[in-house]
Amino acid sequence: MAFEINMPQLGLTMEEGTVSKWVKQEGDAVKVGDVIVEITTDKLTSEVESEFDGILLKIVAQEGEDIPVKGLLAYIGEKGEALSGAAAPAVVPTAQAAPVTAAPTAAASAPIVNANGRIRISPLAKKTATKMGVDYANVKGSGPAGRIVQKDILAAAQNAPVVAPVVAPAAAPAPVAASGSIDLMEGDEVVKLAGMRKVVAERMAQSRREIPSVTQNVKIDVTNLMKFRKQINVELGVKYSVNDFILKAVAKALKNNKHILVSLDGDKIIKRAHVNVGMAVALDEGLIVPVLKDIDKMSLEEISATAKDLAERARTNKLGMDEYKGSTFSISNLGMFGVETFDPIVNQPDSGILGVCAVQDELVMDDEGNISKRQFMRISFTFDHRLIDGATAAKFELAIKELLENPMKILL
């Protein structure tokens, strides 16, 4: 008897996931606990393990395809077993893997409509259709059981009938080049926007559309910090990074400036109780932000160990779902790449993100005309102007500056 493998719900707010990679292929033997497919959602790639022994008889969801929670991914059964339902899966997949019983009869060119008269369309596709003014009532879905997914809306946007967007014109996203609108030249390579890169693209575009953000840059003399760090590392035989001290300083500044720890939820302002700092980690396929929770209660040693551990497991795809959720503030450090200044994008639902830039040597003349070499670093604070005013942001930046220029205060 064949069994369905369905899209798992990897988080309470998850509505759909992207099939990133099939680890097992059709015809492969599968045992309980074997990883069969990798799923990407919310910037995290998770491995889906088999709950059955058997043969991977049929792959229904292809790589790069968006599948709703509980949507059909594949069938596992006995070798040579016939699948009457493989070509057209059930309209509403079950929450748990269940025996395949019967196949639906019709697959019309029009969108699939439930018994309650509603068109089957993913939440993301519906939101995209509304914002792009696409009438999805006549769009043919390519998802499971004819469900309309985002790629169907994007494809239909070029020639499908359009209606006036529900949202106000000012809230509409900037025009996006439709698929196939770019003239390709010899040697160009076309790669599907999928997986983690697709999630990052959507999150960044959403943040830029929704948040009236402002970035303020502050120059900090970190000469004493660099000397202090070197002295501690030598005397204690440790390897604290500059980023460890920055994390500790930001945690302390946030604890004393709680008005920065806010989020906007509709017409409500949420005052966050915890200092949970998200730390941006760059991966080849995208960006992920693991979270140091209650960092204000950690020692420098604990911060250093936790940051290293989270970064390493982020790069090897071993983070748990709860380890990249719940940030109330974020930091993006590009100093190691020599970046002098940049405008980081707010990681919603946070109200702000701190960009950390490179440490640079400069010659400075004092009041008496003496010239000496000092080390400076810039920080770039981007914040949601609906929640934080410029002067408020500046006071927070000065608090960070005071700590970094007087490193002993970071530890006191």
Residue 385 annotated as catalytic: yes
For residues 252 and 337, state if they share a domain.
yes
Whether residue 290 is contained in a domain is answered as yes
Of 53, 85, 65, 56, which is closest to residue 7 (Cα–Cα)?
65
Whether residue 103 is contained in a domain is answered as no
Domain with 156 in it: what CATH number?
4.10.320
- Residue 272 structural domain: 211-411
For residues 143 and 65, state if they share a domain.
no
Structure confidence at residue 153 (pLDDT): 80
For residues 253 and 391, state if they share a domain.
yes
Structure confidence at residue 181 (pLDDT): 72
Structure confidence at residue 180 (pLDDT): 59
Structure confidence at residue 43 (pLDDT): 58
Which of 21, 126, 385, 386 is the catalytic position? Answer: 385
Whether residue 229 is contained in a domain is answered as yes
Structure confidence at residue 124 (pLDDT): 66
For residues 222 and 168, state if they share a domain.
no
Whether residue 320 is contained in a domain is answered as yes
What gap in Å lies between CA 145 and CA 107, rounded to an integer? 8
pLDDT in tens, 347-373: 999 999 999 999 999 999 999 999 999
For residues 259 and 376, state if they share a domain.
yes
The set of residues, in sequence order, having a beta carbon less than 8 Å from that of 258 and lying 6+ positions away, is: 271
For residues 130 and 60, state if they share a domain.
no
Whether residue 92 is contained in a domain is answered as no
**How many folded domains does the chain comprise?**
3
For residues 55 and 143, state if they share a domain.
no
10-residue stretch averages of pLDDT, the chain, 412 residues long:
85 76 93 90 77 92 88 91 55 38 42 63 73 81 76 71 44 49 85 77 90 97 97 95 97 96 95 96 86 97 96 88 90 95 95 97 94 97 97 98 97 92
pLDDT in tens, 325-349: 899 999 999 999 999 999 999 999 9
Domain with 396 in it: what CATH number?
3.30.559.10
For residues 292 and 146, state if they share a domain.
no
What gap in Å lies between CA 39 and CA 262, rounded to an integer? 31
Domain with 59 in it: what CATH number?
2.40.50.100
For residues 244 and 360, state if they share a domain.
yes
Q: What is the CA radius of gyration of the chain?
A: 26
For residues 291 and 148, state if they share a domain.
no
Whether residue 243 is contained in a domain is answered as yes
Whether residue 42 is contained in a domain is answered as yes
For residues 298 and 345, state if they share a domain.
yes
Question: What dihedral angle (degrees, nearest 10) is formed by the CA atoms of 330, 317, 194, 293?
Answer: -20
Residues 53/32, Cβ–Cβ less than 8 Å: yes
Whether residue 115 is contained in a domain is answered as no
Residues 382/357, Cβ–Cβ less than 8 Å: no
Q: Which one of 142, 172, 202 terminates a domain? A: 172
For residues 33 and 145, state if they share a domain.
no
Please give the DSSP secondary-structure letter assigned to residue 136: G
What gap in Å lies between CA 39 and CA 21, rounded to an integer? 7
